[in-house]
């Protein structure tokens, strides 16, 4: 049976009410519940803290598409897509500058010590609050770089603080890691399932130490490259501390064909050795909300570029295979890293939960459509019709796999990688799925070299590959591209299945054709006029053509080539688009909030 930690919605909001003339900081209404009636017991503090829990759920599985990355296409509007195809400014990029959550956290920190409880308990709750403040500011720094630092609740008399300008990124980040360190030092080690404990705080601290260190290294516009190493070393050391506890391990039952997939559709991750933080779901009590849109045919779909990143089953580069870029769908899955067929829907897979898929259930046959890659995702997709089953699936918010990848990448960045590090990290992940171990004599893959032209170390390139594969479709890719200074990769239009020409194609792997491509000038026959395959099933017809035509599916050359998802993704302006402007309305109120990196 699953235990669960629920946020008590609204309690913190009710408590932080105060009038304030800030206009650019969020405000809350006054209520009859005041601080003098609260903050008296450990229960009060727990209720307040629970309200701050906002860890991600099933949305992580579509985040690579909605954030705009090279892992997936997206037919909807996203902030970055709009920026790259228009002339953006602070008048058009208006989200993100919200501060109400910080006010809630700082209000707690100014009042929690009123509780008559032991110092150890007070330290624990202070650690939790400072952990959430660190996460709040990480988000702000990632978006804006230099931001005002506030560690107190502001009132009407604090005009000098309310109308201050940006603080330097370096100063703000120093404060972030002071908060993280206090959290790691004081949050209790053993907490209920789904709750923040010492190891959750340490994992987030390690994640953002690696982020900040590599961001400084690969972003010369910050003039902080001389301080990058210290953060990368911190990431390495924190990851090693977590590894050395022996508390966590990679989930495996010895089934390399299913274990990876099962981790993301599991009804009870409590006690799973790989899960450091679990977002718990219980049907009809806290539903998972897991959506059929994960599978596809809604807005997002996986890319060919990600598919081509997966190694062969024997560890060879896919790019070394003859004609790798013109392989048909069935061929693309032959003898590949087993994580591929536990992330992408593969030939012969059976679809049960149709959801957004008009083609219907049964043995999977791609439903080709304009602006979709033709690939579908099964990682995180609960393939079941029963809502009670779907709504009971937990989400692994933090996995030990990430800790291993942090340790491996940090060592590679520091020039300290050796076989023992590889064996303790990358090779543990590969062992779960039966992929050969990585060795120190790794060579470069031409596809990886093209993705990261500034990186000459083949070992670092391979660790970046491993990170992309292991964490694919969990929402990590955007931050990785940004910190590596690889924003130009999002300019590449995601592509889909390859077809050498018009005609019939087998998509299920049984040797029998399932679909037929005809020229977009032709008409799709109806009823008995449709050709039937040897299984007695009518072929599915698609009219193929170039983008802009009235074809059913767009191919690169009109009647041949890869499926095209978008005509033009636009231009990623470096370094400007690594950051966002402060919305114009806030700059108007507070002229001290100047724009940086070319934003107006």
Q: What is the pLDDT of residues 71-82, one digit of tens each?
A: 999 999 899 999
- Residue 35 is predicted with a pLDDT of 74
* Beta-carbon count within 10 A of 260 CB: 24
Radius of gyration of the chain (CA): 25
Confirm if 277 and 397 have CB atoms less than 8 A apart: yes
- What is the DSSP secondary-structure string of 239-292? HHHHHHH--------S-TTTHHHHTTS-S--TT-TTEEEEE--BTTTB-----G
- Residue 355 is predicted with a pLDDT of 86
Q: What is the average per-residue pLDDT within 85-110?
A: 97
Q: What is the average per-residue pLDDT within 108-114?
A: 97
Q: What is the average per-residue pLDDT within 364-392?
A: 96
- What is the DSSP secondary-structure string of 6-75? ---TTHHHHHT------SSS------S--GGGSS-SHHHHHHHHHTT-----GGGGGHHHHTTBTTEEES
- pLDDT category, 156, cuts 50, 70, 90? confident
Average pLDDT, the chain: 94
- Residue 33 is predicted with a pLDDT of 53
Q: What is the average per-residue pLDDT within 122-127?
A: 98
- Residue 583 is predicted with a pLDDT of 98
**Percentage of the chain with pLDDT > 70?**
94
> DSSP character for 571?
-
- pLDDT category, 359, cuts 50, 70, 90? confident
Helix (H, G, I), strand (E, B) or coil at 591: coil
Q: How far apart are CA 406 and CA 415, in angstroms?
A: 14
pTM: 0.95
Q: What is the average per-residue pLDDT within 125-148?
A: 98
Tokens 């064909």 belong to which residue?
257
Strands 395-399 and 275-279: antiparallel
Confirm if 421 and 411 have CB atoms less than 8 A apart: yes
The sign of the CA dihedral 293, 447, 264, 131 is negative
**Percentage of the chain with pLDDT > 90?**
92
- Residue 193 is predicted with a pLDDT of 94
- Residue 54 is predicted with a pLDDT of 95
Q: What is the largest CA-CA distance in the chain?
A: 82
Q: What is the average per-residue pLDDT within 13-42?
A: 56
Strands (E) across 280-381 are located at 300-302, 350-351, 362-363
Helix (H, G, I), strand (E, B) or coil at 136: helix
- pLDDT category, 37, cuts 50, 70, 90? confident
Q: What is the pLDDT of residues 186-227, one digit of tens each?
A: 999 999 999 999 999 999 999 999 999 999 999 999 999 999
And the tokens for 62? 């579509």
The pLDDT of residue 24 is above 80: no
Q: What is the pLDDT of residues 219-248, one digit of tens each?
A: 999 999 999 999 999 999 999 999 999 999
Q: What is the pLDDT of residues 539-554, one digit of tens each?
A: 999 999 999 999 999 9
- Residue 357 is predicted with a pLDDT of 87
Q: What is the pLDDT of residues 579-600, one digit of tens each?
A: 999 999 999 999 999 999 999 9
Q: How far apart are CA 383 and CA 291, in angstroms?
A: 10
The pLDDT of residue 9 is above 70: no
Q: Which residues touch 46 (CB under 8 Å, ≥6 apart)?
A: none
- Residue 31 is predicted with a pLDDT of 42
- Residue 188 is predicted with a pLDDT of 98
Tell me which residue of 239, 240, 243 sits closest to 273, measured CA to CA.
243
- Residue 63 is predicted with a pLDDT of 97
Select the more confidently predicted residue: 1 or 55.
Answer: 55
Q: What is the pLDDT of residues 464-491, one digit of tens each?
A: 999 999 999 999 999 999 999 999 999 9
- pLDDT category, 27, cuts 50, 70, 90? very low
């Amino acid at each position: 049976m699953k235990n669960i930690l629920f946020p008590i919605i609204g309690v913190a909001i009710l408590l932080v009410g105060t009038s304030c003339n800030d206009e650019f900081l969020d405000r809350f209404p006054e209520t009859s519940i005041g601080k003098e009636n609260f903050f008296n017991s450990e229960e009060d503090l727990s209720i307040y803290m629970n309200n701050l829990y906002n860890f991600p759920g099933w949305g992580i599985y579509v985040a690579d598409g909605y954030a705009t990355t090279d892992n997936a296409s997206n037919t909807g509007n996203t902030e970055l897509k709009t920026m790259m195809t228009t002339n953006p400014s602070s008048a058009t990029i208006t989200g993100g500058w919200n501060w109400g959550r910080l006010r809630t956290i700082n209000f707690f920190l100014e009042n929690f010590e009123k509780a008559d409880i032991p110092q150890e308990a007070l330290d624990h709750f202070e650690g939790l609050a400072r952990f959430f403040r660190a996460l709040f500011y990480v988000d702000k720094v990632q978006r804006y770089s230099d931001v005002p630092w506030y560690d107190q609740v502001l009132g009407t008399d604090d005009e000098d603080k309310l109308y201050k300008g940006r603080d330097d990124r370096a100063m703000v980040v120093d404060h972030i890691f002071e908060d993280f360190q206090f959290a790691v030092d004081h949050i209790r080690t053993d907490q209920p399932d789904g709750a923040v404990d010492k190891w959750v705080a340490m994992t987030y601290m390690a994640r953002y130490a690696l982020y900040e260190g590599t961001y400084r290294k690969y972003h010369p516009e910050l003039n902080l490259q001389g301080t990058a190493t210290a953060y990368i070393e911190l990431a390495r050391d924190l990851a090693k501390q977590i590894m050395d506890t022996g508390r966590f391990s990679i989930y495996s039952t010895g089934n390399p064909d299913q274990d990876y997939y099962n981790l993301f559709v599991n009804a009870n991750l409590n006690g799973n050795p790989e899960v450091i933080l679990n977002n718990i779901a219980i049907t009809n009590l806290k539903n998972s909300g897991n959506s059929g849109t994960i599978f596809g045919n809604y807005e997002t779909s996986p890319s060919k570029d990600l598919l081509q990143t997966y190694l062969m089953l024997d560890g060879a580069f896919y790019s070394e295979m003859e004609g790798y870029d013109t392989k048909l769908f069935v061929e693309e899955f032959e003898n590949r890293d087993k994580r591929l067929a536990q992330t992408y829907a593969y030939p012969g897979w059976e679809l049960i939960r149709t959801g957004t898929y008009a083609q219907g259930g049964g043995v999977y046959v791609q439903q080709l459509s304009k602006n979709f890659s033709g690939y579908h995702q099964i990682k995180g997709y609960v393939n079941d019709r029963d809502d009670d089953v779907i709504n009971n699936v937990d989400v692994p918010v933090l996995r030990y796999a990430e800790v291993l990848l942090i340790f491996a990448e940090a060592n590679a960045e520091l020039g300290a990688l050796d076989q023992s590090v590889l064996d303790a990290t990358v090779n543990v992940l590969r062992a779960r799925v039966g992929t050969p171990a990585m060795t120190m004599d790794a060579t470069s893959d031409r596809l990886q070299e093209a993705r990261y032209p500034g990186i000459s170390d083949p070992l670092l390139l391979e660790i970046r590959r491993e990170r992309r594969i292991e964490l694919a479709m969990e929402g990590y890719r955007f931050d990785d591209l940004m910190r590596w200074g690889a924003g130009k990769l999002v300019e590449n239009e995601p592509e889909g299945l390859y077809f050498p020409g018009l005609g019939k194609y087998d998509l299920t792997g049984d040797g029998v054709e399932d679909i037929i491509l005809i020229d977009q000038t032709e008409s799709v026959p109806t009823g008995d006029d449709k050709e039937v395959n040897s299984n007695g099933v009518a072929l599915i017809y698609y009219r193929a053509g170039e983008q802009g035509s009235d074809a059913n599916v767009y191919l690169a050359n009109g009647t041949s080539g890869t499926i095209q998802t978008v005509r033009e993704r636009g231009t990623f302006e470096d370094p400007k688009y690594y950051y966002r402007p402060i919305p114009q309305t806030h700059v108007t109120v507070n002229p001290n909030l100047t724009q940086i990196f070319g934003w107006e």
